[in-house]
Amino acid sequence: MKRIALALGALSILSAAYAQDTTTKPDAQTPAVATPDTNNPAAPVPGANSFTEGQAKERIEGQGYTDVSGLTKGEDGIWTGTAMKDGKSVEVKLDFQGNITASAK
C-alpha cells in the first residue's frame, strides 16, 4: 500500500511540473525566427534585432535577392535596404524574426 501511495505521489508531482513547463509550447503567433517557407503576415515586425548587417545581407540573399545594399537598422529593429529580384529594384526589410518583405521602389 505504501508503494502505491508513493508512486501516486511521484506521479502527481511530475504531472504538476509538466503542466507548468511553458517551454514545451512556444507561442506560435510570434516565433523568434520564422520557419523556412513561411512568413508572418504582420511582417516586418518591430523588435530587438540581433542580426548583424552581414547576417541580414546573407539572409536576404538567401531568399534570391541580389545586389543587396544600403542596409540600415532602424530604431524599430528592422533592417531596410535595396536589392534586385526578377530584374526589378525593390526595397527589402528584415525583421527580428527573420521575415523578409519587399516592395517596389
Task: Enumerate the domain spans of the chain.
Answer: 31-104
What is residue 27's predicted lDDT score, i.e. its pLDDT? 44
What is residue 42's predicted lDDT score, i.e. its pLDDT? 81
Q: Which SS3 state, helix, strand or coil, does residue 12 take?
A: helix
- Can you give the pLDDT of all 105 residues of the chain as single tens digits? 655 655 555 555 544 444 444 444 444 455 555 455 566 788 899 999 999 999 999 999 999 999 999 999 999 999 999 999 999 999 999 999 999 999 987
CA–CA separation, 96 and 105 (whole Å): 23
CA–CA separation, 95 and 76 (whole Å): 9
CA–CA separation, 78 and 43 (whole Å): 10
8 A C-beta contact, residue 65 and residue 81: no
Of all helices (H) and strands (E), which one includes residue 102?
A: strand 100-104
Beta strands in 63-99 (DSSP E): 66-73, 79-85, 88-94
Read off the pTM. 0.63
What is residue 19's predicted lDDT score, i.e. its pLDDT? 47
What is residue 12's predicted lDDT score, i.e. its pLDDT? 55
